Amino acid sequence: MGKQTFLDNIKNHNAVIGIVGLGYVGLPLLIEFSRAGFKTVGFDTDKSKGDFLRAGKSYLKHIPSENIKNLTESGKFEFCSDFVRAKDCDAIIICVPTPLTKQREPDMTYIVKSGEAIAPYIKKGQLISLESTSYPGTTDEVLKPILEKGGLKAGIDFYLAFSPEREDPNNPNFSTSTIPKVVGGFNEDSADIACAVYDTVICKTVRVSSNATAEATKLMENIFRCINIALVNELKIVFDKMGIDIWEVINAAKTKPFGFMPFYPGPGLGGHCIPIDPFYLTWKAREFDYPTKFIELAGEINTSMPRYVIRKTLRAMNQRKKVLNGSRALLVGLAYKKNIDDIRESPSFKLWDLLEENGAIVDFYDPYCPEVKDTRHYPKYAHKKSILDIKNIAAYDVVIIATDHDCIDYEFIRTNASLIIDTRNAIKPSTNVIKA
């Protein structure tokens, strides 16, 4: 397929769009292409997702089942757990995880396996776009050689692009289609084609000069957040020693109409991006013999927050002539942020682990996460179930607010729990509330 034919097919919505990885990034993107009238193919090795989709049900709490029902009833969607149908797609967009190894180095497993799965079915005139966050050079240095193994060349026989995902699940102000999208390409034609594809479903595409520039853009966005969160986490500790409430300080500071952007402290970083992405750049920077001290220091501060919370918990219990060993503890909130069911990299798991390390008997309560899914770092908690409600909260020696879901009755917690460790400023001041 020539470039103009591809552009015509996109303009007329005759192209077939394939999405590899139907998680928090891939599924919303697939829904947008389907809404725009394109035929779509969703690829995921997790066959249970196909069962949900074919039944018109959502497996992500923030995506209504009605959206899935509309997708399946359109008659233009197909789910595949293998990649044979990749040959029938005009554009294939890869949305797979990019975690860290135990040594905190980039784990390219999912990108490599996706590339290897697609490679046998690549055809001339096809677009392959990677959305998985990674270090500058990943698309051209890692993915491209895999895709070219069959003899077709990127930029000549097929188009190759990188366009970083910018998902923020359950954000009330922005959705997949209303967030501007950065797009880079291996060459001019690749960028032209990728922009044309994304322009059909995204409010605005922001074209940059290369795939590496697009990759660097995403890292910069998340490193910016990581460093600023580390700053307020450090200030939280300092101000606490001075008897100053960090949340009151932030609320006062953000009244300045210029030169300040509020960030908020917490029990640690969570989600698939901010705790991980900065270390992709620190790893790549070593290749250029440059230490990224600022980024690494921010990572150290943020990863130390769960231990700070537990130290505050131990101190508060000691002041009440109690010990954590043998006590009953309730973690309120397992998701990494409010009002979603995403538990990836959630600091709640580290809190849970540290509580048990100190001898506590731990339960958790999270209406968004009734059962713990499999996790990479804490498999021992898989399939543990949330308590059904908090009516018996007085039975716990300590309650730790780790995630401030809006649906939780914090006034009930305040008036019935004996000791509350509030890491999210969710509960108004009281003699039984300790901010941490």
Chain-centroid distance, C-alpha 61: 14
Number of CB atoms found within 10 A of residue 431's CB: 6
- How far apart, in whole angstroms, are the C-alpha atoms of residue 227 and residue 278? 9
206 class by beta-carbon count within 10 Å (0-12 exposed, 13-18 middle, 19+ buried): middle
Instruction: Give me 263's structure tokens.
Output: 């960030």
In the DSSP assignment, the letter for residue 265 is -
Stretch (H or E) spanning 256: none
Q: Are 131 and 165 in contact (CB under 8 A)?
A: yes
273 included as an active-site residue: yes
From the candidates 203, 273, 369, 407, which is the catalytic residue?
273
Interior CA angle at 148 toward 146 and 152, to 5°?
160
How does strand 181-185 pair with strand 159-162?
antiparallel
Tokens of 199: 């322009």
Alpha carbons 38 and 90: distance in angstroms, whole number:
11
Tokens matching residue 74: 């359109």
Give, rounded to a whole angstrom, the gap between the first and last alpha carbons of the chain: 59
The full 3-state SS of 159-173, as one line of letters, equals: EEEECCCCCCCCCCC
Q: Could you give the residue numbers annotated as active site? A: 273
